[in-house]
């Protein structure tokens, strides 16, 4: 019997969702996750999402990037899981427990508190994370922030002119970032608007990145470039990011179910 999956996306950042709470699924390994994510020989996705039972929340969400590596958080996937739940839900992740709530216009997610300490990003050594004294070619003085996973944010005049396919992996794999890093190229357009492109570690450039939108918005707010609530425009669409006086980040945006299907684990060298 095939293993059921649900194909979903948040602003074009797409996922294959496996629900181990209601179906038997194969033990997830890095090779299996990468094989399922492959767009030519697998189902195809930016991230594979595995749902499990949780002892501390309504459910547990595990996240595997396209290269098969397991990561801490994914904002767009959290909205997708919130859509599947159809009601307010507390979702356990490696980054902590996130809360999703259905609202007009999609799903709102409490992404928790941002972390700014160099060792919380993490970086290889201590430095100012609001304006890092480092650079790669013409890309200098980024902000670093952890919003469940590590990000660096560069502010530029025109994000469309950046060769992200070239500079993204160079920064992602720099030894300064022991856990690698997500690379954000942000263009501030107004006090409440940001345009953004994101190179996701282990994936590449994606049409949208929820944690990247959070990281870039918070970095811009810390620098006084924007107000405490902004619209972040990505290739796949818009997200609303707000940062409360209580130091909580809220991300609001849509999620969509594309289709459902099944796969045979044996086709990928696995067994259910």
Q: 209 — phi, psi (to 5°)?
A: -145, 115
3-state secondary structure of 127: coil
Which of 45, 74, 159, 214 is an active site residue? 74
Instruction: Report the number of secondary-structure helices (H) and strands (E) in the chain.
Output: 4, 19
Q: Is 68 left (phi over 0), alpha (psi -120 to 50) or beta?
A: left
Query: Which has the closest alpha carbon to 253: 269, 268, 234?
Result: 234
Instruction: Kindly state the tokens that stand for 210.
Output: 């929820």
Q: Is 259 left (phi over 0), alpha (psi -120 to 50) or beta?
A: beta
| Distance in angstroms (rounded) separating the CA atoms of residues 231 and 81 | 22
Known catalytic membership, residue 209? yes
Known catalytic membership, residue 159? no
In which residue are the tokens 């060298």 written? 269
Q: 213 — phi, psi (to 5°)?
A: -65, -40
3-state secondary structure of 34: helix
Instruction: Kindly state the tokens that stand for 172.
Output: 């992602």
Instruction: Kindly state the tokens that stand for 102.
Output: 């259905």
DSSP state of 224: T
97 in Cβ contact with 56 (< 8 Å): yes
Which of 45, 159, 209, 214 is an active site residue? 209
Active site residues: 74, 209
């Amino acid at each position: 019997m095939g293993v059921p999956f649900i194909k979903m996306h948040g602003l074009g950042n797409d996922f294959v969702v496996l629900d181990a709470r209601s179906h038997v699924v194969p033990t997830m390994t890095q090779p299996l996750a990468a094989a399922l994510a492959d767009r030519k020989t697998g189902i195809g996705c930016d991230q594979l999402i595995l749902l499990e039972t949780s002892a501390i929340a309504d459910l547990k969400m595990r996240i595997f990037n396209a290269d098969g590596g397991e990561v801490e958080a994914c904002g767009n996937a959290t909205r997708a899981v919130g859509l599947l739940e159809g009601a307010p839900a507390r979702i356990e992740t490696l980054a902590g427990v996130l809360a999703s709530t259905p609202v007009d216009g999609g799903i709102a997610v409490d992404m928790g508190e941002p972390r700014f300490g160099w060792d919380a990003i993490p970086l290889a050594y201590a430095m100012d994370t609001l304006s890092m004294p480092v650079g790669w070619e013409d890309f200098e003085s980024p902000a670093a922030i952890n919003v469940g996973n590590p990000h660096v944010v560069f502010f530029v005049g025109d994000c469309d002119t950046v060769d992200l396919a070239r500079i993204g992996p160079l920064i992602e794999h720099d030894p300064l970032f022991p856990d690698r890093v997500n690379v954000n190229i942000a263009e501030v357009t107004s006090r409440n608007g940001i345009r953004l492109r994101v190179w996701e570690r282990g994936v590449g450039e994606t049409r949208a990145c929820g944690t990247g939108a959070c990281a870039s918005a918070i970095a811009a707010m810390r620098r006084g470039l924007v107000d405490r609530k902004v619209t972040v425009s990505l290739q796949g669409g818009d997200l609303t990011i707000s940062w409360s006086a209580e130091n909580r980040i809220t991300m609001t945006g849509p999620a969509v179910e594309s289709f459902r299907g099944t796969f045979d684990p044996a086709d990928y060298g696995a067994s259910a």
